[in-house]
Chains A and B, each alone.
Chain A
Amino acid sequence: MKNPYEIGESIYLRSLEAEDIEGPWYEWFSDYELTKFLGDRFLPNSKKKQADFFNSINDHSSIIFAIIDKETDKHIGVCSLSGVNWFHRYSDIALIMGSKEPQHKVVAIEAMRLLLNIAFVRLKLLNLRASYAVTNLPSATLLSLFRFEKVGLYKNLCYFDGKYTDVGLSQLTRSDWLVRNSLNLDD
């Protein structure tokens, strides 16, 4: 493992590094299947654009993690806490699995677990927000599995996968997360 920040059974999360630009990361954002439900990734990506993005990351308000396979040390996805508001203690959450290898089919659940642990334990955030195209069933199901509560809906807001689509808004509070995981942290 190299520079792990949060370690799970089969994966770990670490900070993005400049060398990640050379790997598969930039290619994921040209892949239609991976990007068809993303709000701002509708143009072809390139190493140059990914390098520009990497250099623009503001660590204070946007914390982006590489998802790494522990066994191979391969970069297989990214997840983030973005728009972090340190006064109100909330952020937006996102997760993209880039790998299509069979052994990584169910890794999103572990990545989400690690990310929630970072948000609610290490960073002590109080609320997480997520938005998703209602037709994006994997995202909607993942959020539902982790008990994100649907709190709103934008009608026909975004043009995803060939049609205007409703965008759901959901929220997970730290207190609900603590109860569901039977955690009683000493705050």
Chain B
Amino acid sequence: MNCEISVDLKIKEITSSVLSLPLEKINDNLSPANCDQWDSLRHMNLISAIEDQFEISFSDHEMSEMINLIKITILTKAKLK
């Protein structure tokens, strides 16, 4: 498994855990607008859990750009480079 795929998978696992959704329901199009479980508190918990998992710290601007799963994944990967 290469590094990119493992980051993708880890983010999906964290999202599954934070949103209390089965892993198979976590797809790139997931966002607060189309997922009832994705409320404001879980959104903040998700960002926090990703910071903890990858030992990174997002800037204010990066956090405010994280409006769906694909953007969260892109910004996390950029941070890890």
A interface, CB within 8 angstroms of B: 8-10, 97, 102-103, 105-106, 108-110, 112-113, 116-117, 137-138, 141-142, 144-146, 180-182
Contacts and interface: CB of A to CB of B under 8 A. Distances in A.
A108 B44 CA distance: 10
B33 interface: yes
B52 to A, nearest CB: 11
A103 B65 CA distance: 14
Majority secondary structure of chain B interface residues (helix, strand, loop or mixed): helix
A87 B64 CA distance: 31
A137 B67 contact: no
Contact of B32 (A102, A112, A117, A144): A102
**Best-buried of B38, B45, B48, B61 by chain A (most CB within 10 Å):** B61
User: What is the interface of chain A mostly: helix, strand, loop, or mixed?
Assistant: helix
Contacts, number: 57
Residue among B40, B45, B47 with the highest chain A CB neighbour number at 10 A:
B40
Interface of B: 32-33, 38-41, 43-45, 47-48, 57, 59-61, 63-67
26 contacts: A8-B64, A9-B64, A9-B65, A102-B32, A105-B32, A105-B33, A105-B39, A105-B43, A106-B32, A106-B40, A108-B40, A109-B43, A109-B44, A109-B63, A109-B64, A112-B60, A113-B63, A113-B64, A141-B44, A141-B48, A142-B44, A145-B63, A180-B57, A180-B59, A181-B59, A181-B61
Nearest to A137: B41
B36 to A, nearest CB: 8
